[in-house]
Amino acid sequence: MDYQAVLEEVAAHARPFVRQGRVADYIPALERVPADRFGIAVADIHGEVYGVGDWEVPFSVQSISKAFSLALVMGQSHDGHDDIWRRVGREPSGTPFNSLVQLEAEDGIPRNPFINAGALVVTDRLQTLTGDASTSMLHFLREESGNPDLAFDQAVADSEAEHGDRNAALAHFMASFGNLENPVPSVIEHYFWQCSIEMSCRDLAVAGGFLARHGLRADGSRLLEAREAKRINAVMLTCGTYDAAGEFAYRVGLPAKSGVGGGIIAVIPGRCTLCVWSPGLDARGNSVAGAAALDHFTTLTGWSVF
Ligand code: GLU
């Protein structure tokens, strides 16, 4: 596969969609990102990386971090020996990522690890396992991406904390059901920090390589059992793109995780990991140009899982 040629064709296809949608503004620090940015990168399972456009420009990973926190929790506690799946479900929620409504009816157990409530439970578990959830994630991402300069964006973390009443409400509500192990202020702080990490398409495609390598890290050591990588990919496919996962499967047909910073990572198990970024979001919170690019990528290559 001539990845570079494919990416160039994909970028040309996505170009008219760039600037469509709205740059997220509910976290005010995200609003300053220019809407005309577009980048896409592919990292194959051997570590070769290809990219087009703004593929080396860092952006706020936001909810993409949820895929990594889940992997770190599963990697440290190995599925079956941990109660994480008693504390969070694996079904699409069909509600917005920050919704409170299901939690009450479902006794404080979030539907899946990729809505905010579920991600807070996962961060809480990572905090218990590591003693410093957000720093352990940052170290992991630096190692996997090979980029020692990755950092938190203090302005984004502060901005999110200042406007974080909804996330605080979710965390307190779950705590009232006994579904948090650590104090609410510490859980939300680590969650905001992990969301604030800045990475480029290149960094994310490389760092997410273990999902395409059936759980093997860049250095060949094992983060996850193959069955665990399979499960994370499955949850990404069914729950990774907000309440548009059905539409995303229909159009793209890959495990994917999006964030309100405009990034989306997508996995083709056994082949490669992709990351696309463009800040304009559709009404569900997914990058408009990013989704168009991934749609075109799987159409051109025939590499959707379907
Ligand atoms: N930090 C964001 C929030 O909790 C993440 C949102 C997202 O990317 O989905 O609101």
Q: What is the pLDDT along the chain (306 residues), one digit of tens a residue?
A: 899 999 999 999 999 999 999 999 988 889 999 999 999 999 999 999 999 999 999 999 999 999 999 999 999 876 555 689 999 999 998 888 888 888 988 999 999 999 999 999 999 999 999 999 999 999 999 999 999 999 999 999 999 999 999 999 999 999 999 999 999 999 999 999 999 999 999 999 999 999 999 999 999 999 999 999 999 999 999 999 999 999 999 999 999 999 999 999 999 999 999 999 999 999 999 999 999 999 999 999 999 989
Active site residue 26: no
**pLDDT at residue number 81:** 59
Q: How far is the CA of 103 from the centre of ligand 1 (A)?
A: 17
- Point out the ligand 1 atom lying closest to the alpha carbon of residue 116: 4
Query: Taking CA 165 as the corner, what is the angle to CA 164 and CA 168, rounded to the nearest 5 degrees?
Result: 85
Q: What is the pLDDT of residues 134-188, one digit of tens each?
A: 999 999 999 999 999 999 999 999 999 999 999 999 999 999 999 999 999 999 9
- Point out the ligand 1 atom lying closest to the alpha carbon of residue 98: 10
Domain boundaries of the chain, sorted by first residue: 3-60+205-301, 64-195
Q: How far is the CA of 219 from the centre of ligand 1 (A)?
A: 30
0.85 cut: is pTM over it? yes
- Identical fold at 3-60+205-301 and 64-195? yes
Indicate the burial class of 106 (C-beta count within 10 angstroms; 0-12, 13-18, 19 or more): middle
Kindly name the residue from 63, 258, 278, 287 that is annotated as catalytic: 63
Q: Are 252 and 304 in contact (CB under 8 A)?
A: yes
CATH class of 3-60+205-301: alpha beta
Active site residue 50: no
Kindly name the residue from 3, 99, 122, 191 that is annotated as catalytic: 191
Residue in this structure with the two tokens 């993409």, named with its chain if needed: 64
Does any ligand 1 atom lie closer than 6 A to the CB of residue 144?
A: no
Kindly name the residue from 88, 260, 267, 288 that is annotated as catalytic: 260
Active site residue 121: no
User: How far apart are alpha carbons 154 and 161 in whole angstroms?
Assistant: 10
Q: Are 196 and 136 in contact (CB under 8 A)?
A: no
CATH no., domain 64-195: 3.40.710.10
Active site residue 134: no
| β-pair partners for 52 | 40
